[in-house]
Every structure is written in C-alpha cells, then in structure tokens.
Chains A and B, each alone.
Chain A
Amino acid sequence: MNTLNFVIVGHVDHGKSTLIGRLLYDTNALPTDRVEELKAACNALGRELEFSFITDHLQEEREQNVTIDTTQIKFKTQNRDYTIIDAPGHKEFLKNMMTGASQAEAAALIVDAKEGVQEQTRRHASIIALLGIKQVVVLLNKMDLVEFSKERFDQLKAQTETFFKTLDMTPAHIIPIVAKDGDNCANPSTRMQWYSGLTFLEALDQFTIKEKPTNKPLRYSVQDVYKVGEKRILVGRVEAGVLKSGQKITFLPSNKQTVVKTIEVFGNEGKKEAEAGECIGITISDPLFIERGEIACAVEQPPIIAQKIESNVFWFSSKNFEKKDKITIKLATQEASCRVEQLERIDSSTFEVIEHDATQLCPTEIGRFVLIPEKPIVIEDFNEVEELGRFVLELNGEAAGGGIVVSKQDKA
C-alpha cells in the first residue's frame, strides 16, 4: 500500500498534539488495552481523555527510541497508509525538509477557531509555500469554543483564504473540527450540520502521493568510482528519470560524452535499466576520467550548469551568517566553495523582503541568497527535480543552512 507523508503545523496551542492523538485513536493506531485503561481512569476521575497527553507520550518514547520510529508517526485508513512527519517546531521541520531528511507531500495547518489566525500561523503557511507543498488542508479547531458557529467559520475561512492568496496558494479544504472530541476528524460532526464538506481523513484520502520522478530527464549523480577486477564502476544514484544500458549520456559539468555499457547491481546481473531512487553502479564504453560530483544526463536533455545560484536559504546554525563568510554548497554529490554576491533578509511570516542589501543573517532566519560557486554546479529548479534543487550550506565544516533553488542561470 502507498504512503502519504504529511505534516501538521500550527500555532503552539492550537491543538496539534490533540489532533494527532485523536487521529491515532480514531484509526485504531493506539494499543487498544492502553486506551481502554486511560478511558476508564478518565471516567473514574470525571475527566475527559487528553489526546495531547498520549501524543506527548509517544513523542517521548520516540525520543528514547523505545517503541516507534524516531521521526515519524504512522497510521492507516482503509484507503492507504499515512505518515505524520513529526515537527516539534518549524525550525526542525524546515531544516529536515530543506536537507531532504524528510519529505512532506501535504500539509495540514491547524488554527484555533477562537483565537483565529496568529503570527505563527502565517509563518507556517509561508513555510508550506516556501517548500512548494501544494496540497494543503486548513483545520479550524476548537469549534466548540465558538459554539459551533457557522458565522465564525465563514469569517475565519475568508481570512484564511485571503492570506493564502498572498502566498499564491489555495487550500484544498477548510474544515471546522473539534480535535478533542473527533468532530470532522475521522467522522462527520453531528454538532455542525451546516458543514457538508469532507472530514479531515477524507480530505487526506483525496491528496495524491508524489510519484517517483521517472518521467523526468535522466540525472545520475556519481558518488564514487571503484575498480573491480578489470572494470571501472561508477557508483551513484539515479536522482531522476530512467538510466538504460546502451544509452548515450553526458557527464556534467565536465561535458564528457559516452555510452552506458552495463548497469551493475550486486546479485542482479544483466540489469538493463534503473529508475529514479535506485542506487546502482555503471560501466561506460570510453576510458574517461570521471570523479565524484559529476552528474550524468541524457544527451538530448541537459540540465543547467550554474555559475550563479538564486535560492531561498533557511539558516539553522546557532551562529550568525556574515555575508563575507566563505561557505560550502553541497548539492547531491557536488561540493563547491562559494561566496555570497547578494543577501536579502526575508520576513518568514509575510515572505516580504525586510532588508535588501543585508550583511548578516541570524539563526532561524530566511534569506534570499545569490551564491557564486568557485566552479560550475549542476542544478535544477526545486519544483522540477527536487533532488538537484535542494542543498546544504556548510560553514567551517558544519551544516549551517538548507536551501532550495528558485531560479537558474547560465544554461550549459
């Protein structure tokens, strides 16, 4: 069964933990006996079951690596499997997304119906936009606190749509929910009969799972070169497209052409093709000197070789970035020292430029960087081939920022 990866973001007190706990409960992803025990205890104490306590407990267990995966919470519906990418804060989420550690295909933005849209809500929406996540559902939570008012829902819906419009986005669904009681989470609410739209789970079921980029032009990043007997094997990963034996390829940025002779995979002799996501070795017809960092591409569909990279960068180091700093860009297996030609500081809530010719970027800020690598680098627009559109910046040998390519220059 396929899995949809999604993230739930929102202001710290707007009910994220409660919603996660409720989803796990409604989809029977929690141990039944434990839930029954907690429910019985709640009844005896005359209290409501606190789903957020359950979620927090799961997070603790995860941190201790006791029972479940260290970064993800899983559940399933009749239609498919789901993974909630856990993001304790937007800093961690941005860092993971930008470095490729986790990939959300959809996002749920949770808003307290009583408190309404807050600064942090706007910031999270901006982050979703920055990361190019197009499948978004907005959950207006705690509708019980506004007496299930349709007027309040309509007011917030209009407000939400307006600020998403400024980000050039439209949420697929805006749903009134009460996470603690489960209204419109997995099951339709009987307390908001004026709402005839989808429940949260139904909305998730409508989202599509990102396909492997097999229909994109071939991009194969060389990781290393090994000599095995008489063979020189170039080991790497198919980042996009399909690589076939007998195919004409160009290595960039060195611009050397050759033909794929064989595809080498341990225990799979005679493999004829490999698709995006596969790590394989290849041999080539010509005795070329190829090294780590080269990108093999289909001859007829070359990528961009950039001498200047425009990008959005999230600075997650604890130290400030100074424009004069020399940094290293790491993109797929490519690595190059760079300088920053231009730096703009961005307001992470509105995405507006707050300082045009900045000399410094502080921890957790977003900056628009124009990077000048000391040697040409193969890049792609993040929205086209993510694997070649995202990079990590290192400062003094330590990962300090994550970036995505927003436009390309200098065609090969």
Chain B
Amino acid sequence: MTKLIILGMDGLEYDLVTKFGYKNLMQDHFGKTDISEFELPRSVILWSSFIAGKSKEKELTALTNFWHAKMPIAQTFFANAKNPLALDVPGFTYINEQHDRERQNMKDFLEGKNITIEEYDKHVFAHHQKIKEQFFKALETGEHDVIMAYFSVSDVIGHLSFGITPKMRMIYQDLDEIAAKVKAKFRGKLLIISDHGMFARGRFGDHTTYGFWSTNFDVQFKNPKLTDFFKTLIDAQLE
C-alpha cells in the first residue's frame, strides 16, 4: 500500500500558486522553502540535496557533468522504503536523454536556430504526459510504499514562457489537477515540493532563491530548508 507520495514540481512558483488560488497544490499546510544555503539555484543540485537530506552542491559541481550524476539509493530517503518508485527524479532516476534534449532545444531556440516555440513545448509536454501516465498507473496498483514523481514542465516551459501568464496558468492548472486526482484516490501522506520558484524576464523566466512546499499533514515548518524534509520523509515511511 502506498504510504507516501512526493510530487516534485520543478520551478513551481509560490506567488503564482497562491495568486491563482490552486487549492490542491496548496493543500492544508504550505509555504516557501529557503534555498539560500546554495550558491546557485540549479535544479539537479537542489533535487539531489532534497533526496539526500544534505547539500550536494560542492560534490556535484566538482563533476564534469553534474546533470548525469546518479546517487546510490543508500544515500537517499528511498533507502528506508520497501518498494519505492522514483519517476525521473534528478540525481537518482533522471532521464538524461529527455532532459539533455530539452537543454539543447532551449539553447537552439535562444540562438535562433531551427526550432519553434511550439516544437520546443511539444517535446516537453509529451514527456510530461508520459510521466503523468506512469505515475497514475503506479498509484493505481498500490505496489509501491513510496512514490516520487518529478514533473519538470513548469520549469522547462517556464524558462521560455514564464511571462506568458495564460500558458503558465494552464500548466499550473494541469499540475493542480494532478494533485486533486491524488487527493481523491490516496489517503496517505502527500508532499508537493519545488526546488525553486520563477520570475518573469519579459516572456522568459528565471529561477528565484526560494521554493514551494505543501503537505496534507502537519510538519510544523516555518520557512524550511530543502534538506529539512529528509527526516520527515523517513518518519513518514516508518509510521
């Protein structure tokens, strides 16, 4: 039976969630995370630190390509689970081929090479739909005691479109509907967390130095650090 679900939503912006009142994303308890311990808000480093419960910044930035870094399960909170599922989790089960291509597409778009915004988006949305499908399938089976699904859509689309509010709102609505569907089917503990938020630069988007968190259980956190959730997640598995 699934006890704990973590929805990792890359770049989910606190101000946008609260502005549009996405209640399923906000859950019962929510707030901003403090990521000031990191020199730069880089996604793979932040997510790796989140699952490890300590900053992995120094260790990962020393690598030639930290995007492809994969931690052993023993270093993560998944170590305590009997049958965990980690879908596309950065630093652990990250799907390199997909995300390398996304970064290349972004570079090409910004350099004015042969890719339209529609083509860029399409590639990201197709992956989003795939992860969504895999996640709900897994939830249906109930085989995994812990599931973490990573949704990169809000960040990857946000980089080129955060200033296009109707588009971002549509994405946030989709994410809110994922949370709603989970809440309707699942009675365990649910954490929704982002690595960082985003702010608009014209039509584009850049990372903020805080993230978003919400839970359906009381964690008594005030402005928690991203690494503070580790113990809570271990405890939730042991209950």
Contacts and interface: CB of A to CB of B under 8 A. Distances in A.
Given A37-B118, A45-B171, A57-B165, 5 more contacts: A40-B121, A47-B174, A50-B169, A56-B165, A60-B165
Contact of B122 (A44, A46, A47): A44
Contacts of B165: 53, 56-57, 60
Interface stretch (B27-35, B95-103, B124-132, B137-145): B124-132
Interface string A15-58: 00000000000000000001011101110111100100110110
Contact of B167 (A38, A46, A56, A60): A38
B112 interface: no
Contact of B129 (A40, A46, A50, A54): A46
6 contacts: A36-B118, A45-B125, A46-B129, A50-B170, A56-B166, A56-B169
The 9 residue pairs across chains A and B that have the minimum distance between CB atoms: A44-B125, A53-B166, A40-B118, A57-B165, A53-B169, A44-B122, A57-B166, A54-B166, A45-B125
Interface in B167-189: 167, 169-171, 173-174
B178 to A, nearest CB: 12
B53 to A, nearest CB: 34
Contacts of A46: 129
A40 B122 contact: yes
B170 A47 contact: yes
Contacts of A50: 166, 169-170, 173
B117 interface: yes
A36 B118 CA distance: 8
Contacts of B125: 41, 44-45
Contacts of A54: 166
Contacts of B126: 44
Place the interface of chain B in its size category: 10 to 19
A38 B166 CA distance: 8
Contacts of A41: 118, 121, 125, 157, 167, 170
Interface string B105-137: 000000000000110011001101100000000
B79 interface: no
B164 A42 contact: no
Q: Mostly helix, strand, loop or mixed at chain B's interface?
A: helix
A45 B128 contact: yes
A37 B164 contact: yes
Contact of B121 (A44, A53, A60): A44
Nearest to A61: B165
A57 B16 CA distance: 13
Contacts of A37: 117-118, 121, 161, 164, 167
Interface in B154-168: 157, 161, 164-167
A34 B106 CA distance: 18
Interface string A304-345: 000000000000000000000000000000000000000000
B100 to A, nearest CB: 20
Nearest to A50: B170
B164 A45 contact: no
A272 B24 CA distance: 69
Contacts of A36: 118
Interface in A85-116: none
A41 B171 CA distance: 9
Contacts of B161: 37
A33 to B, nearest CB: 9
A41 B166 CA distance: 11
Contacts of A57: 164-166
A60 B169 CA distance: 13
B166 A45 contact: no
Nearest to B171: A45
Interface in A282-302: none
A40 B118 CA distance: 6
A396 to B, nearest CB: 35
Contacts of A44: 121-122, 125-126, 129
A88 to B, nearest CB: 16
Contacts of A53: 165-166, 169-170
A44 B120 CA distance: 11
Interface centre among B125, B166, B173 (most CB of A within 10 A): B166
Contacts of B128: 45
